[in-house]
Amino acid sequence: MARYTGPKVKLSRRVGAPIADIPKHTAKRQLTAPGMHGYRGRRLRDYGIRLNEKQKLRYHYSVMEKQFRRYIQNASQKRGNTGEILLRLLEQRLDNVVRRAGFTRTVWASRQMVVHGHVEVNGKKVDRPSFSVNPGDRIILRPRIRNVVKDNMESMAGHLVPGWMAVNPAELAITILTLPTRDETPFDVNTNLIVEFYR
């Protein structure tokens, strides 16, 4: 399974936006371009701007390029705004749902939790981070990981859970209520530029 294993903060610096909601990524020093002087005087052209937006979204959801192209293709085949459908498909990923529920701090931690078999969807073990959840699905964590998750939740007091899911902290369970919308995505990205990049 191909995945990025290098330094994660370097990705935030490359795109100039925090791709994870943790202090290491949101620190002001980390949002300057890499290098001693931060690429002073360098201006992006149209292609560079679109590429940057696309990479920002890819890094945020920890998706490789080939897989991201498939998401774009699926979104373009559905009726509606391609950019909004793309965001919805990415938000419905199982690793992202575990992160949005506040069980882990980053998408990489939630991905590891899913791959190691600690997550059940509707009573069945699912170990694919790209598994797409739907309204009515119930996601439960297996007993082995519960202590770790409770510690994570205590350290993330005040975490806001999106309105399209309901979290039961006592049972460590998530119920998907509706499909996510563009307004409920807590990541600022211009999807129009991403769609234009692939045309």
- Quote the pLDDT of residue 158: 76
- Quote the pLDDT of residue 31: 61
pLDDT-based confidence at 160, cuts 50/70/90?
A: confident
- Quote the pLDDT of residue 120: 94
- With contact defined as beta carbons under 8 Å apart, do 91 and 79 qualify? no
Average pLDDT taken over every residue of the chain: 87
- Quote the pLDDT of residue 28: 62
- Quote the pLDDT of residue 115: 94
Q: Which amino acid is present at 190? A: N
Tens of pLDDT, residue by residue over 63-72, are: 999 999 999 9
Residue whose C-alpha is closest to residue 101's, from 155, 151, 170, 172: 172
User: pTM of the prediction?
Assistant: 0.88
Tens of pLDDT, residue by residue over 9-59, are: 888 888 878 887 776 667 665 566 666 665 555 677 889 889 989 999 999
Instruction: Assign 3-state DSSP to the chain and report helix, strand, coil percentages, each to 5.
Output: 45, 10, 45
Question: What is the CATH class of 93-179?
Answer: alpha beta
* Separation between Cα atoms, residue 98 and residue 173, nearest integer Å: 10
Place of tokens 């998530």: 174
- Quote the pLDDT of residue 135: 94
Which CATH architecture group holds 9-90+186-197?
Orthogonal Bundle (1.10)
Specify the 3-state DSSP secondary structure of 168.
strand
Domain ranges of the chain: 9-90+186-197, 93-179
Q: Is the pLDDT of residue 144 over 70?
A: yes
pLDDT-based confidence at 142, cuts 50/70/90?
A: very high
